Structure 1
């Protein structure tokens, strides 16, 4: 593919691909990769936003294929809950940091609070650029798969890390174009169970139908518990 007209930047990008472990850099469209590492603060027009949009779909597809191929006995509900964690900004940003992506990102903003989101976006944009270079996953899966396999196993072994709320939201939006509704109540002090995990009780509803309920020591935990019940029920019903 045509190289960049600015040799130092070209060398930079080649170095990054070597760190990532991209198997065949001769297939890479360098202009796309350069764009994938250009933050909107540098250019309001020529930046990574569109590639990030593509990369968001790519990373979800990679995660889905990895789960389907490596863990064929897992339930669909587990796939969705685990994938929601794998493709989260927290995980993608941590992968970007592990590969030292930030020095390659052209950015004028020094906002530390937005660092995680910025790195996650850039990481997705890089995946988008690599995908569009060949319109396959051949430049991505060889180096990204091992991370997802390891992370998926760790996440499944620690149920507290599963994000059933995100998985359920994805499901309801995909099927009904609406979000689930959570109704949470706090157990009155005088009637509260001695078990701290039962301080809050949550129900999750969809279109006047209760999908599940659960309890937790916090509102978030109770909602996650309810979402878990709902998603497993929907999976068993084949909906």
Structure 2
């Protein structure tokens, strides 16, 4: 690693709130070089063909991100139902949110990309999300892994989550309940939810113009809205709320 690249990475860590006083980087030179190599790995996209690239840390970052977001919501919004918490977390760990975070922290100029990824402007948001998730894995690793890594990630991401959660809670229609229900059903091996919509009235502007029913296994939800999309979202929300009311396994 060149001295210029080292200074670039150190300045980037400081911009995230991990300056010299944070203790994220070891003081011992050899350990510090290894830590920066981990950060470099997160910022090296697999399209470069390098033997050490972002994939491994992205895999780790995916799991860490979900746990950190769950802990943040449990602490910051304890009154939310499980369904609402799941919906909000899905937004806070989504590829869209990660790509927006990557732009907010000026991640793109630091990335090492191969020719194909560099030339694919349409897929740039995906690349940013992937490497941002790998950065989560790197921060977790540098912070001590199981011994302190989660705290480091939460220290970094909490202010960003606070702002995003406030926006989402102020505008519930921004929740993508359908995505949350689909994520849950596929995670349970139940396949995709099936939506059945019909038009209740032909009055333009009627907030309950459409009615929708969603079914996935034995879980059912129904909702109404001024458009098919809104009705589907409300049906998915109702299904998630019904899921909250189910007794836990073994009860």
| Both proteins in one fold, TM over 0.5 | yes
1:178 is paired with a residue whose SS is coil
CA drift at 1:97:
0.7
Q: Which residue of 1 aligns with 2:5?
A: 9
Match of 1:187 in 2: 199
- Asked if 1:83 corresponds to 2:83, the answer is no
SS in 1 for 2:161: helix
Contact 1:184/1:200 (<8 A) preserved? no
**For residues 43 and 169 of structure 1, do their structure 2 counterparts lie closer, same or farther at Cα, with a shift above 3 Å needed?**
same
Does residue 126 (structure 1) correspond to residue 135 (structure 2)? The answer is yes
* Aligned-residue CA RMSD (Å): 2.1
Following superposition, the deviation at residue 216 of structure 1 comes to 3.5
2:241 matched residue in structure 1: 232
CA deviation after TM superposition for structure 1 residue 218, in Å? 4.2
Q: How many angstroms apart in 2 are the aligned matches of 1:78 and 1:20?
A: 29
Distance 1:194 1:10 in 2: 60
> Residues 139, 210 of structure 1: CA spacing in aligned structure 2 closer, same or farther, 3 A cutoff?
closer
Indicate the residue corresponding to 1:169 in structure 2: 182
Q: CA deviation at 1:91?
A: 1.2
CA contact 2:194–2:216 (8 Å) conserved in 1: no
Deviation at 1:124, TM superposition (A): 0.5
Instruction: State the shift of 1:230 in Å.
Output: 0.5
Displacement after TM superposition at 1:161 (Å): 1.0
Q: Which moves more between the two structures, 120-129 or 131-140?
A: 131-140
In the superposition, the TM-score normalised over structure 2's length comes to 0.83
Structure 2 gap ranges (5+): 27-31
Match of 2:29 in 1: none
Runs of at least 4 residues of structure 1 off by over 6 A?
none
Counterpart in 1 of 2:158? 145
Pick from 35, 49, 55 the counterpart of residue 49 of structure 1: 55
Structure 1 gaps, min length 5: none
| C-alpha distance in structure 1 between counterparts of 2:6 and 2:240, whole Å | 47
Q: Is the 8 A contact 1:24 1:139 kept in 2?
A: no
Q: Report whether the alignment pairs 1:24 with 2:23.
A: yes
Give the TM-score normalised by structure 1: 0.87
User: What is the deviation of 1:196?
Assistant: 4.6
- Deviation string, structure 1 residues 66-87 (Cα, Å, up to 9, x no partner): 1001111111111100011111
